[in-house]
Structure 1
Amino acid sequence: MKIKALLVALFTFSFANAQQVDNRGMYDKKDFEHIEIGWLNPLKNEPAKPITENGWSYPVNQTDMGIKIGTWLQQTYTPIGLLGELKLDLFRPPASKYKGTKYYGADEAEKDNRLALPNSYGALAKFHLCLSKTSTHKFFPTPGNHCYTRLDIMANNVELITKQVIALSTPTDYYCTMPDYTVGQKGEYEKDWLDEMTAYRNFTGSPNLQPYRHYLFPVGNQLSYVVIMTRNRQPLPFEQVTVAELLRQLESQFPKLHQFALNRKLIYENYLENAKKGMQVLKEQLKQQENKFVYFNTIERQIDIIDLANIGSNGKLPNWIQTEKNTQNLDRWGKAVSSSTNYPLLRLKKGVKEDCAAGGPQWLVFKMDGPINAGYGGAVQLMDNFVNRFNYDYVYRYFFGKDKVIEPYQPLGLSFKEKEQRASAASELSAAAKKNAADKTVLFFEDFSNTAVGAAPQSWKTQRSEISGEQPVVATLDKVEGKWLRLKRNAAPKNFPQNINGDFELSYDLLVQKGDVPWGTPGIDVQLKFSGNAGEKNVILNVSPGDMNRADAAGWIMINGLATCKVSNYYSVTGFTGSKPVNKATVSLQKKGESILITCNNSKVYECNTAFSPGMVLKDLNFYVNEKNQFYISNIHIKKL
């Protein structure tokens, strides 16, 4: 089975202690996942200078604000598992050099339309994952790779949070849509994984972000997280476009759209005549709705003369133009079966460019790419700093507060190092751990008693969730004795005794709270790797609690890897329900010679006398939990028989 093959493959995962490079000087990212790498070229505390380029002019007060923003980011976070690259960033794009030529089309017009935008300044950070070692740098971005996470913090920025509607925009008027996604949004972006991504590292629920608008930006090469703050908490300087304005702007831009088509040779018989008819259809069909606002049914909607020609050829109002925020989708009997979200057409207000030409920020945009790998330690640290450690309130008070801020910037909470030091503080071993340590028949025992609550056990190799980024950590539960490892993904002991031969018993305690394991999802795999003269054998016990919605539903154990034994699809274990608030089971595997005996809560589940070849030894142990589930494990015990 493919799933089982994957689980067996995951059995072998590990983290290397040394940083090694290949013959091209490239690192394997797992070697530096938890290493403090830092910034490539930290910003220096130098006097700001005015900058003029491509017709854009930034006075010294604006470049100084950009340096301050970058410095605050630098003070907030020393990159872990990623190489940070930070610089002052000023919005100063060049205009098109092809205006008036046959090469001038929508892409070139888009450049000229940016002239309608205001001055924008701040900091750009890139956090590189693909790293190499060079003759001058221990860590350096690998040439030719673009595997980095981008973070922009910009004052008065428009492009980071909008998509320009090129056909309507001009060098003096900027028309756009504003992509955003919130949990449960219907229509174009109605996907469960977007909800999961929105909640990544508590982005939606963080108290640090609650005073400010924050949402997932769902378009582009990589989805992004956006935080916006405005002066006096006013709305952003956009206004919705009415049907009347859309029609006027389309008519005024018609010659330009025609020229774009000619330049690109997008012509066919009667297309110009049909495009003119299309404009008439729009006017006729929408004349009773001229005061309504325009919405598009897709966030990245662009318009060209072919769209108008298509309207003229069929004489119908296209469905991409809407006049309501939500559209009801009807079945063939006219009954609403679902709804779709539409996106308002917006225009940057008049005078915004002039207001932002020389003064301070009117609004601030914080935008960070979603993680390349949500379970990678460096990505988790980066997101946690973006969500919880960056001091958004200080920035708001500094730029927009009524009183002058005189205290220096301070990030919130503890740094990665401080958290690591606090979490790794050892606790005293339990009486059971001390007793087992003194017993020579006990080969291995772990109850996590010497690991602080909230910390990952130092003596275990663990893997973060690739959905939430959560790491397995030690926890306690109400009315439950002892400490437990809260587990998703993998956990394997580093100090596991190699080559356990002879007769032994492995036992471990499992615990789930009601709701931790949804019905129909996989249970927890306990993976044992054996080796001997006959080769390797991977034995997997998959244990699941019963349905949490049925009080009488028993749990079960599935067994994989015993090719020489007759094994049923599953074995019921009545003592491991899923419906109680806390559900606990003790699972045991005994190896005696060639035989195997499996019990749950002291009741026999399975037995076979031909499970092992003579001389087989236990070499490794791993626990694996599916991303959608959560299990707790403790009292892992291996003793000689």
Structure 2
Amino acid sequence: MIGWMKVYNFKGAKKPLQVDAKLYSVNQLSICDTFANWIQTSYIPKGGLGDVRRTALEKLGLYNQNKAALPQSYGAVAKIYTFLKYDKGKMVPENNLGLNWSIMANAVPGWEASDISSPTQYYFTMPSFESEPGYETQQKIHDLSTNSNVNPYISFWVKNLEAGGGTDYVLLCKDNRSPFIQLKKGEYLRLLEQVIPRVYEIEKKKLYEREQGDQKRAEPFVKILDDKQRTRLANLERLKEKYKDRLAEIALVNAQPSLTDLDTKRDVFSNGYITDAESTSGRMPVYKVDPAMAELCKKDQPQWILVSWWWSPNQPVEKHLHESIVNNFNFGHLYNFFFAPEKVKGQPYKPLRSPTYKEAVVFTDESEQSKKIKADKTVFFFDDFSTTPVGKKPNGWSSKLNAEGKPCLVAMLDGEPGNWAELKGNESFVPTRLKGPLPQNFTISYDVVVPQNFTWGGKPLAIRLSKETSSENTQSFLNVSIRPGFSGREGEVEIEPKFPSTPGYLNTSKYFPAPGFSNNKKNNRITVTIKKKEEDLQVFIDQRKIAEYNKAIPAGLLLNTLSFTHGRSDKETEKYYVSNIKIIKE
């Protein structure tokens, strides 16, 4: 678990804080305390070491002068450090890398449009899913509209500027009236008209500073600036003429709009040149803060609140943070506290769900088939997932999360009896109840089903039998991977062995046909059987032997782990179902 470095229970600020031209009142700073306390009440870091700090807008410096135009913003940020080390017997962060969850009053999201922003007016864009490859999957994962805790409010996802992935945002504002205004084409063109001469003067000043005021030495460079200035103004006039009857439309621009677009005859609102046919694919609005609301941000009460966090669905630490926010944190109380205070007057903050919540493990009745098979003393292990309700993680098994953040789950298949474990891009599906080494001589069998139109060339399903000297430290292994064919054609089996400490035994991968395993039926089902006797190895698909080795696995080598893996899933139909996993002592 690890948890918080310290639980603070902040009591409220005692004095105001001046940061550059912004004065943060005692009430505003006390709201930072409130946010920090609510974060720690709603979430306990799992797999990381957490800390929470109160914060306001960063101090202005040489490279962030435009942030002077941002409204007065303040709040709390939780940092969950994921790279840890021991220092004098105590767990401490190894570096500053980790996860962030912030609750900020009057914060502005997205990417600064630096070429058009100034210390008196800030502009920004919010690149979303459309700029990401395979965005449909990302959009589905980060869609918060079905979460009843979040969906009363505005939610969106913004691509990260430098790293991969993006950030989830929930915007809470009175009556869901967003403080962010999209610029129209007319306003954007007027803005360019103001920015071009301003940038010209800034660049000329830098030029003379570089040349130490030597006018003769600066003259050729000034000429270049003058030419650029004339080109930009001429192309701006062309744009004004082209869009003179469409000035009320939303201005759609690049993620990072730049004046360099005007250095050629490119259309700032389209993906080509001014004379080309219009194309706005991948373009997005540019925003500014409503000036009236920005002015009100100086008052004690927030005008809006921005909750943000980033996470990857296949990382357990990050997924736990995400699930804690959307299921535990009380967004309704946060909204009412500031925008409908009469609804929560006298009511202390309580999370919707305890941060120590654990989903109860539910068992269903074991099937008669399972009871009968387990009564046979030659059966070392058996599972048909009959003790697990449909839609739940298989009891007695663990699996890694797939790219959508889902573990293996139990499913029922139309036309196939019993329960099945679904693997869709899940790795290391491992039976936790399988104790001790496998028998020296054994037969392992399991049923596999793939759905109709399983993606040809998709990743195979592998079973790995291995000798581990410690957790995930594999010394020797045998992989048997299968994948279906297409349109009635036979599938493929790969037998991949590795026994490096025993020369002369099976150590070369080889492919074999998988007869009867294709993707043309509603349910494409086969039984895979692996038999080891002394040093001999046989592999069967249904009742047909497809491979046999006489000197495969050393007789004295006891394999002690079993796992299934499906490395990746790119399509909805690219998944495997397994059941009736049986190990017999021979």
TM-score (norm 1): 0.76
Deviation at 1:381, TM superposition (A): 0.7
**What residue is the counterpart of 2:512 in the other structure?**
570
CA contact (8 A) 1:530 1:618 kept: yes
CA contact (8 A) 1:499 1:619 kept: yes
**What residue is the counterpart of 1:230 in the other structure?**
173
Deviation at 1:181, TM superposition (A): 0.7
CA deviation vs aligned residue, 1:582-607 (integer Å, no higher than 9, x gap): 33322111223443332233333334
Query: Which AA in structure 1 matches 2:133?
Result: K
Deviation at 1:621, TM superposition (A): 1.9
CA contact (8 A) 1:498 1:618 kept: no
The DSSP-based 3-state class of the residue aligned with 2:291 is coil
Q: Identify which range, 613-622 or 48-57, moves more after superposition.
A: 613-622
Deviation at 1:558, TM superposition (A): 3.0
1:173 aligns with 2:121: yes
Within 1, Cα distance between the matches of 2:366 and 2:325?
36
Cα distance change, pair 359–440 in 1 and its aligned pair in 2 (3 A): same
CA deviation vs aligned residue, 1:168-213 (integer Å, no higher than 9, x gap): 4333322x2222313xx2xxx2412x54444336546544433333
CA contact (8 A) 2:385 2:420 kept: yes
Query: Which AA in structure 1 matches 2:196?
Result: L
**What residue is the counterpart of 2:379 in the other structure?**
442
Query: Given the alignment, which residue of 102, 106, 110 partners 1:152?
Result: 102
Q: How many residue pairs align between the two structures?
A: 552
Deviation at 1:492, TM superposition (A): 2.4
The DSSP-based 3-state class of the residue aligned with 1:385 is helix
CA contact (8 A) 1:509 1:633 kept: yes
- Superposed, 1:407-486 pairs within 5 Å as 407-413=347-353, 415=355, 417-419=357-359, 422-423=360-361, 425-451=362-388, 454-457=391-394, 459-465=396-402, 467-477=403-413, 480-486=416-422
Within 1, Cα distance between the matches of 2:44 and 2:236?
57
Cα distance change, pair 499–148 in 1 and its aligned pair in 2 (3 A): closer
Query: Given the alignment, which residue of 51, 63, 83 partners 2:49?
Result: 83
Within 2, Cα distance between the matches of 1:341 and 1:599?
51
Query: Which AA in structure 2 matches 1:150?
Result: N
**What residue is the counterpart of 1:276 in the other structure?**
229
CA deviation vs aligned residue, 1:112-133 (integer Å, no higher than 9, x gap): x322222112211111101223
Runs of 4+ more than 6 Å apart: 565-568
**What residue is the counterpart of 1:18 in the other structure?**
none
Deviation at 1:475, TM superposition (A): 4.2
Within 2, Cα distance between the matches of 1:88 and 1:472?
39
Deviation at 1:464, TM superposition (A): 2.1
- Superposed, 1:100-249 pairs within 5 Å as 107-108=62-63, 110-111=64-65, 113-135=66-88, 138-142=90-94, 145-158=95-108, 160-165=109-114, 167-174=115-122, 176-182=123-129, 185=130, 189-192=131-134, 194-200=135-141, 203=144, 205-222=146-163, 223-240=166-183, 241-249=187-195
Within 2, Cα distance between the matches of 1:45 and 1:225?
26
1:491 aligns with 2:429: yes
Cα distance change, pair 529–283 in 1 and its aligned pair in 2 (3 A): closer
Within 2, Cα distance between the matches of 1:168 and 1:339?
20
CA contact (8 A) 2:188 2:251 kept: no
The DSSP-based 3-state class of the residue aligned with 1:169 is coil
Within 2, Cα distance between the matches of 1:538 and 1:237?
57
Query: Which AA in structure 1 matches 2:377?
Result: K
CA deviation vs aligned residue, 1:533-571 (integer Å, no higher than 9, x gap): xx9763322122343xx4x34444333339769986331
Query: Which AA in structure 2 matches 1:71?
Result: N
The DSSP-based 3-state class of the residue aligned with 1:605 is strand
Query: Which AA in structure 2 matches 1:238?
Result: I
**What residue is the counterpart of 1:505 in the other structure?**
443
Within 2, Cα distance between the matches of 1:537 and 1:274?
70
Within 1, Cα distance between the matches of 2:193 and 2:143?
43
Cα distance change, pair 346–460 in 1 and its aligned pair in 2 (3 A): closer
The DSSP-based 3-state class of the residue aligned with 2:160 is coil
The DSSP-based 3-state class of the residue aligned with 2:169 is strand
Cα distance change, pair 239–199 in 1 and its aligned pair in 2 (3 A): closer
The DSSP-based 3-state class of the residue aligned with 2:235 is helix
Deviation at 1:480, TM superposition (A): 4.3
The DSSP-based 3-state class of the residue aligned with 1:570 is strand
The DSSP-based 3-state class of the residue aligned with 1:73 is helix
Query: Which AA in structure 2 matches 1:86?
Result: V
Within 1, Cα distance between the matches of 2:254 and 2:311?
22
Deviation at 1:243, TM superposition (A): 0.9
Query: Which AA in structure 2 matches 1:40?
Result: M
Query: Given the alignment, which residue of 510, 516, 530 partners 1:589?
Result: 530
Cα distance change, pair 565–116 in 1 and its aligned pair in 2 (3 A): closer
Within 1, Cα distance between the matches of 2:355 and 2:449?
32
TM-score (norm 2): 0.82
Within 2, Cα distance between the matches of 1:519 and 1:357?
60
Query: Which AA in structure 1 matches 2:255?
Result: I
Cα distance change, pair 497–82 in 1 and its aligned pair in 2 (3 A): closer
CA contact (8 A) 1:501 1:616 kept: no
Within 1, Cα distance between the matches of 2:331 and 2:210?
47
RMSD: 3.6
Query: Which AA in structure 2 matches 1:169?
Result: S
Unpaired stretches in structure 2, ≥5 consecutive residues: 213-217, 469-473, 499-504
The DSSP-based 3-state class of the residue aligned with 1:242 is helix
**What residue is the counterpart of 1:51 in the other structure?**
16
Cα distance change, pair 84–541 in 1 and its aligned pair in 2 (3 A): same
CA contact (8 A) 1:89 1:122 kept: yes
The DSSP-based 3-state class of the residue aligned with 1:387 is helix
**What residue is the counterpart of 2:29 in the other structure?**
63
Deviation at 1:524, TM superposition (A): 0.5
Cα distance change, pair 201–95 in 1 and its aligned pair in 2 (3 A): closer
Query: Which AA in structure 1 matches 2:188?
Result: T
Query: Given the alignment, which residue of 254, 271, 274 partners 1:298?
Result: 254
CA contact (8 A) 2:84 2:93 kept: yes
The DSSP-based 3-state class of the residue aligned with 2:422 is strand
The DSSP-based 3-state class of the residue aligned with 1:42 is coil
